[in-house]
Amino acid sequence: MTSAASALVGTGVSGPAEIHANLTAAGLYAHALRRGEGRLSADGAFMAVTGQHTGRSVQDKFVVDDPEVHDAIWWGKINQPLPPAKFAVLTGKVRAFLGQKPELFTQDLYAGADPAHRIRVRLVTTNAWHALFARNMFIRPPQAELEGFKPDFTILHAPEYDADPAEIGCRTSTVIALSFAARTICIAGTSYAGEIKKSIFTVMNWLLPERGVLPMHCSANLGRGGDTALFFGLSGTGKTTLSSDPERSLIGDDEHGWSDTGVFNFEGGCYAKVIKLSKEAEPQIWDASHRFGAVLENVIADERGVLDLDDNKLTENTRSCYPIEFIPNTVPGGQAGKPKNVVMLTADAFGVLPPIAKLSAAQAMYHFLSGYTARVAGTEKGLGKEPQATFSTCFGAPFLPRHPEVYGRMLAERIARDGAEVWLVNTGWTGGAYGTGQRMSIQHTRALLRAALDGSLAKVEFQRDPFFGLMIPKAVPGIPSSVLNPREGWADKDAYDRQAKHLVSLFEKNFETFAGAVSEDVKAAAIRAAA
């Protein structure tokens, strides 16, 4: 195991009186409670409150503008450039800050279940609970592999340090800065643990395309017949819920690679959104969140530690982080074969998309680059009464260091090469928009997904949707026709037509960014979708 003396080698940090290296969950619990970092739930989960930041600070993310990577970075609002000299000042300040602490916690971990494509990560943090979060989320090496562990990337994690915008050139006192050249990530001014997880996902999104591996923001599971399925989707679309299917084995719930040999998980844990989590609808996530070893972020409990998962007084973005083995039916080793089915999830609050549709290869790239869902009024500050469309290219724009077309082309090539079927699934509203219609039944969604994954849905008769050019099944046993064809579920058909045309126009406007960077067949798919 990594010794305390060697735990900081190569990090540039020195000086702490005590270093807690690679502690187990129990050891990290003990230190977190001793230090007053949080409390326990009635079931033994560790509960932490992250303060001002209850989600990712997207506007405070920077990529160091090193000369060797400049031309390949997708610069803009997502990847803001930080001069190397400013990064040197920032890391110098953070290293000095960490070195002045009486104690630090380190964890040595892997990202990537496939040994051919994994990286070694070392986290240096001021808090035991953040170390526990990382230990849950990433892959824990066997003890024998910790001796002499040399990280490929180091995370300097100082949530209590406030950066100086005038000195660093950042927007606020919060900064998440990543240098591919220095192989260092610096996180300061935020306690939200998801920054740790997503910074490494960004690293994998940078490294893997050069190795011919497609990195993906998706969950994945495995059927009893050995068929792999991928689930793309933004937060709130059901990606974690639908991949945690009792009838299938979970490969992973959020981040994967698609290589020449198959699919592999980047992580060793799950990070589930748990606001209004239901034991009846999501028993596996419920059980995993009510036990020792789980980390709960911004979840409310009473004085006895009994959780109230409906309470959103701190945030709608309440989270549960737990090792993947807390889910009973997982794929050992986090690897499986090439995907047979690719599912793109959306929660359409406009109520016009069908619950399931079959996509052509061109439509698959179109919807992948679009990355659509709709936020609902009342769930986020500043939203009005009407639903608001959200487009996040490749279903993960905040984590893409390269241009989106790189990932889009790789997906199209993989689908064509491996012969995967592609489905668009709406877990949003039916029978009307949010406020008039109702949320899609999870029972209907699961039934349609199972029919798609077992191959039976591909054999039914389909009809073309006139607005989006989608192929919709005409009839599926147990699913009402008014659900399969969303227009039939609306009492006011003219209102449906107006809403559908409005959503089409939003798709069309969003896709203007990619019009000059995609092939003619994808352009044709976009034209049909916007007709």
If pLDDT is split at 50, 70 and 90, which confidence band does 527 have?
low
Q: Which long-range contacts (CB under 8 A, 24 or more apart) does 514-519 make?
A: 514/369, 514/393, 514/404, 514/405, 514/408, 517/403, 517/405, 518/365, 518/366, 518/369, 518/405, 518/408, 519/362
Q: How far is it, in rounded angstroms, from Cα 257 to Cα 208?
A: 8
Question: 214-258+338-529 sits in which CATH class?
Answer: alpha beta
What pLDDT digit, counting tens, does each position of 53-78 carry? 999 999 999 999 999 999 999 999 99
Concerning whether 260 is annotated as a catalytic residue, the answer is no
Among 86, 101, 198, 340, which one carries the catalytic annotation?
198
Q: Which two tokens stand for residue 428?
A: 């949003």
Q: Give, as one character, the DSSP assignment of residue 329.
A: S
Who wins on pLDDT, 426 or 16? 426
Look-up: residue for tokens 């949010």?
A: 434
pLDDT at residue number 379: 38
Catalytic residue, chosen from 31, 117, 140, 217, is: 217
Decide if 35 is catalytic. Answer: no
Instruction: Please identify, in words, the CATH class of the domain defined by 18-38+55-211.
Output: alpha beta
> Is 367 an active-site residue?
no
CB 216 within 8 A of CB 255: yes
Per the annotation, the verdict on 198 as an active-site residue is: yes
Of the residues 319, 367, 409, 444, only one is catalytic, namely 319
Q: What integer best gives the mean pLDDT of the chain?
A: 93
Residue 56 falls in the annotated catalytic set: yes
SS3 59: helix
Q: What is the pTM of this model?
A: 0.93
315 included as an active-site residue: no
Distance CA 388, CA 523 (A): 25
Q: Residue 377 — very low, low, confident or very high, per pLDDT cuts 50/70/90?
A: very low
- Which helix (H) or strand (E) segment is 391 a member of? strand 388-391
Dist. CA 13–CA 10, nearest whole Å? 8
Specify whether 183 is catalytic: no
Assess whether 310 carries a catalytic annotation.
no
Q: Which residue among 6, 235, 360, 441 is the active-site one?
A: 235
Domain regions of the chain by residue span: 18-38+55-211, 214-258+338-529
Residue tagged active-site, from 41, 50, 184, 240:
240
**Which among 150, 126, 104 has a CA at the least distance from the CA of 4?**
104
Average pLDDT, stretch 321-331?
94
Q: Which of 135, 239, 402, 528 is catalytic?
A: 239
Rounded to 5 degrees, what are φ and ψ at 457?
-70, -30
Among the options 60, 245, 254, 465, which is catalytic?
254
pLDDT at residue number 1: 45
Look at residue 525 in the predicted model and tell me its pLDDT.
Answer: 74
